[in-house]
Structure 1
Amino acid sequence: MAGREYRGMSAEQRLADRRERLITAAYTLFANPGFHGTTIERLCATARISNRAFYECFSGRDDLMRAVYDRCVEETLASVSAAIEQAPPMLDDRIVAGIGEYVRFVTKDARRARVMHVEVRRAGDVLSGARQRSVLEFSKVIERAVDDVQHRPPLESHLLALGVIGAITELLIEWVLSDPAPPVDRLVATATHIFRSSFRP
């Protein structure tokens, strides 16, 4: 039987609303002061819900961090995939479109960059599976982008894609942690050079 409505919202709608408010609060707080610096009490206060309601939405901070991280990855993947699809079919155009969109989309919001590339590591082993899945998804995007390139290095595309992802990740960590941060255009140029060097014969 469906739950009673309260203030025009069903029980399912209230749960979804609380969950979304927690994700929004965590997106900001997990970026600053960071995952380990954010308590459940502070998350609840920011989201304006009770501690009891928190556990109706998530099993703990780790579960909430996974939801925030997965949201960031999904949005980034969608943006990068769209940019590659809209680019001309030449490899170089795909490189410029995909790499440029990834770096610019992630750095457009410093919270996204910090959650995806710094705090996910600080969260520890509990997020390692989610991070591994995201790396696999991004590697598939790269492999599809270069799939019909006729003259590629005699190396496995999947491993090359992983290497490129690792390099771009380190560039973005540098952007997050450095003061002053390197210009985004320089990050894009460097990442593009690494990609071209990896996939061109």
Structure 2
Amino acid sequence: MAAAYTLYAKPGFAATTIERLCTEARISNRAFYECFGGREELLQALHERCVDETLDAVSKALQEAPRELDERIRAGIAGYIGFATADWRRARIMHVEVRRSGDVLTASRQRAVESFARLVEEVVDVFPDPAPVNRHLLVLGAIGALQELLIEWVLAEEPPSIDELIGAAVHIFQRSFSNLS
């Protein structure tokens, strides 16, 4: 897993062979196949671990946040971005390599989005809903915007600062849910 964490982040999933993984991990190909069915299964396990750890970080940030909607939005986003970017490999695996793997992680990626959507919906569901738009779709759109901001951070030659990322994401979420508070 440690070798994949580094290699799947750079040079990336597509460029990482099982032989390279095994050499980096100092294990035999046979030992690899005793643990995983292939590179894809390893990527899925790694992605799910990253998602679970990030969900835990966001949940903790939300538990410690004040009850006002704007403060909860800021705490959740700062928790997400802060944890995802604390290790560039995590951000790259969760937001870039998961897409580059093609259909391999489609189901895993959808489960991750659904898990984060449930967290956001738990935050906003305690507020009245005067918006004439489907709240679940609004949550998905805001999450998509957050993901694109992190892709920009990972891929940009001159990435925005973490504070800029948090500021932009908070703005998007607050505008999206401003009529709830």
What's the TM-score once normalised by structure 1's chain length?
Answer: 0.87
Contact 1:30 1:38 in 2 (8 A): yes
Contact 1:152 1:199 in 2 (8 A): no
1:113-152 equivalence runs, <5 A: 113-150=91-128, 152=130
- Which of residues 29, 36, 46 is equivalent to 2:24? 46
* Partner AA of 1:50 in structure 2: S
CA shift for structure 1 position 111: 0.2
What's the TM-score once normalised by structure 2's chain length?
Answer: 0.96
- Which blocks of at least 5 consecutive residues in structure 1 are unaligned? 1-22
- Which of residues 154, 176, 180 is equivalent to 1:198? 176
Secondary structure of 2:159's match?
Answer: coil
CA shift for structure 1 position 154: 2.6
Q: Point out which structure has higher relative CO (alpha carbons under 8 A, 6+ apart).
A: 2
Find the counterpart in structure 1 of residue 63 from structure 2. Answer: 85
CA shift for structure 1 position 193: 0.4
Find the counterpart in structure 1 of residue 165 from structure 2. Answer: 187
Distance 1:185 1:77 in 2: 20
* Partner AA of 1:100 in structure 2: A
Cα deviation per residue 1:23-62 (whole Å; 9 max; x = unaligned)?
Answer: 1110010001100111101111111110011110000000
Distance 1:123 1:184 in 2: 26
Find the counterpart in structure 1 of residue 36 from structure 2. Answer: 58
Secondary structure of 2:37's match?
Answer: coil
- Which blocks of at least 5 consecutive residues in structure 2 are unaligned? none
Distance 1:71 1:126 in 2: 16
Q: Are residues 1:167 and 2:145 paired? A: yes
CA shift for structure 1 position 94: 0.4
Q: How many residue pairs get matched?
A: 179
CA shift for structure 1 position 150: 2.4
Q: Are residues 1:34 and 2:38 paired? A: no
**Rg larger for:** 1
Distance 2:115 2:28 in 1: 35
Secondary structure of 2:133's match?
Answer: coil
Q: What is the aligned-residue identity percentage?
A: 58
* Partner AA of 2:5 in structure 1: Y
